[in-house]
Chain A
Amino acid sequence: MREQLLALLEEIRPDVEFEKEKKLIDDSILDSFDIISIVQEMNDTFDIEIDVEELVPANFNTIEAMIELIEKLQAEG
């Protein structure tokens, strides 16, 4: 899952080192347009439905947080 996620993130923002960054949202590295693109790709790739209430910095600040969100939504079905 990590590799898949990393690939889709790097396709959207090739200039960002997703493995290193810990404050992707708090430091405004990702803008709102990036977030929407990422959410769309995550929905399609992992067959989940990320709702607007999940759009909080804590869920998108790091790649680990995004994986956690995907796993949670997959578990919820």
Chain B
Amino acid sequence: MTIISFEFLLFVLAVVLVYYIVPKKKRWIVLLAGSFVFYWLNSKWLVFVLLGTSMTTYLFGLLLQRQNEKNKAVLQSNKELSKEEKKRLKEKQKKKNRRILAAGILLVLGALLFLKYFNFFGDNLNALFSAAGTGWTIPYLKLLLPLGISFYTLQAIAYLVDIYHGKVQADRNPAKFLLFMSFFPQIIQGPIPRHGHLADQLYEGHAFDYRRLCFGAQLMLWGFIKKLVIAERLAIPVNYLFENYRNYSGPIVFFAVALYGLQVYADFSGGMDIARGVAQMLGIELALNFKQPYYSTSIEDFWRRWHITMGSWMKDYVFYPLSLSKAFTNLSRKSRKILGQFVGKRLPAFLAMFIAYFCVGFWHGANWKCIAYGVWNGCFIMSGILLEGVYQKSREICGINESAVTWRLFRMLRTFVIVSFGRFFSRAADLPTALDMFGRTFKHWRDITFITNGTLLKLGLNNANWIVLSLFVIVLLYVDSRHEKGISFREVFARQPLLFRWAIYIAAILLVLIFGIYGPEYNVANFVYEQF
């Protein structure tokens, strides 16, 4: 049961109905039951992997919590200790807590590493063994990847680290914690929640709110338009061009990757809108995962707007801890002596950032092209920071007005081009293909007549479909531009007369039914991020 199926709509309707019928205190049980039915229908026995990860996280959460409380009590009873003694005691306590945290993370992460990355490491080690002539081989294992494992593993790690830091309290009730880990709208592809933001919203029963219900339904509908009308339509020329890119000149190869960028945006953000819409109908606010990424003015800005919950996870649980770790602080001190103040100060943060973006890439897929995708983005961010002084001077010399609209547009275009080139790595079949496409983009730029010479009509979409696609993409970017100005369409819409609102609802549903790409002859593709 995918979230864009008719069955899913019926399922959501049933959950919403039952949720508001049962007493408030029991409403979380409806969510838990709904989440496990949903997971079972999608993944059958793989539900036990989710259960295993959840229970391991739950137990280690309790262990950490107990240790935190014990540490506090010991400190309280040793008030008379000197500053130095207290410091030593705290260090000792921290060491113990760190061991528990490390064991918990290893177990939780171990499941993901084994199921998602075993064959990647196996293949690469086999290549090394063969080159060394050892004759050793690591067998290829047919492993099934449980739905949402890449997302809920990060969620579990964040939970454990937050307890370790004393930011959240561990859940005492295992059933409630299971709900936190498995909440059905977000289990497939996020957003990656933080316990402090989501858990209480799930556990407390929400009162029925007609306005919120309507807002949720509207968001879902918008998500369906993005996924079925835009993303699925874009997938047709994108798939064709990525299969047959060798037959085309540079501009078309770039056109393919630009279309793919739009496809992923409509696909992923559409899925997020459906997830957030379902949650809103139940009175729950999921974290925002997209904030008009096409309006980014730098790569750093892009990662603050694109897949926000993953970016902030990497920042909080990889970049900051690494940058402030003892090893990195020592590295900073040593490198300052050897390489000077400027480089020495920045080196540890650069290294931490490189590792964080490497992880971003590796999280996206167990292959080298995804690693290249992460590294590509990381390198641009690092170069931006490193060369900021040079850029600033160049702007001053050229007399650029940094608040001018044209300058902002230029920066947006520049970001779009860099992001698009990076997407060769995430979409192409493998790393050599990505590099080949990358290189071909720069060839035969005299041939830019593809827009008018009929080439577009041979990519799987006819004239009418290109017009429909163009119109919807314009609407998508227009909606984003309004959001960028802080205007909420749903607020404006809520102030309109009832008759007008229902006319728009019906029109939007008809748009999905008429222009959506689905049906018995067409297999709607899985969400791009569902496969992670």
Contacts and interface: CB of A to CB of B under 8 A. Distances in A.
Interface of A: 28, 31-33, 35-37, 39-40, 43, 50-53, 55-56, 76-77
Interface stretch (B83-91, B371-379, B462-470): B83-91
Contacts of A40: 329, 332, 345
A28 B304 contact: yes
B90 to A, nearest CB: 9
Interface in B274-317: 300, 304, 315-316
B291 to A, nearest CB: 11
Contacts of B300: 31
Given A40-B332, A77-B86, A77-B87, A50 B315 contact: no
Interface stretch (B133-141, B320-328, B438-446, B453-461): B320-328
A22 B348 CA distance: 28
Contact of A32 (B83, B86, B166, B319): B319
A28 to B, nearest CB: 7
B511 interface: no
A36 B323 contact: yes
A31 B353 CA distance: 12
Interface of B: 83-84, 86-87, 165-167, 300, 304, 315-316, 319-321, 323-324, 329, 332, 345-346, 348-349, 352-353, 385
A32 B304 CA distance: 11
B324 A33 contact: no
B320 to A, nearest CB: 5
B81 to A, nearest CB: 11
**3 interchain residue pairs of minimum CB distance:** A77-B83, A53-B165, A36-B349
The listed residue with most A CB atoms (<10 A of its CB), out of B84, B165, B324, is B324
Contacts of B349: 33, 36-37
Contact of A37 (B304, B321, B345): B345
Contacts of B348: 36
B14 to A, nearest CB: 39
7 contacts: A31-B300, A50-B324, A52-B165, A52-B324, A56-B167, A77-B83, A77-B84
A54 to B, nearest CB: 9
A13 to B, nearest CB: 11
Contacts of B329: 40, 43
B357 to A, nearest CB: 12
B320 A55 contact: yes
Nearest to B325: A52
A32 B87 contact: no
B324 A51 contact: yes
A39 B324 contact: yes
B333 to A, nearest CB: 9
Contacts of B345: 37, 40
Contacts of A56: 167
Contacts of A50: 324
Contacts of A77: 83-84, 86-87
A53 B166 contact: yes
Contacts of A36: 320, 323-324, 348-349, 352
The listed residue with most B CB atoms (<10 A of its CB), out of A31, A33, A77, is A33
Contacts of B385: 33
Nearest to B319: A32
A32 B349 CA distance: 9
Nearest to A31: B300
Contacts of B323: 36
A70 B316 CA distance: 21
Contacts of A37: 345-346, 349
Given A50-B324, A51-B324, 14 more contacts: A28-B304, A32-B315, A33-B353, A36-B348, A39-B324, A40-B329, A40-B345, A43-B329, A55-B316, A55-B320, A56-B167, A76-B83, A77-B84, A77-B87
B345 to A, nearest CB: 7
B265 to A, nearest CB: 21
B65 to A, nearest CB: 15
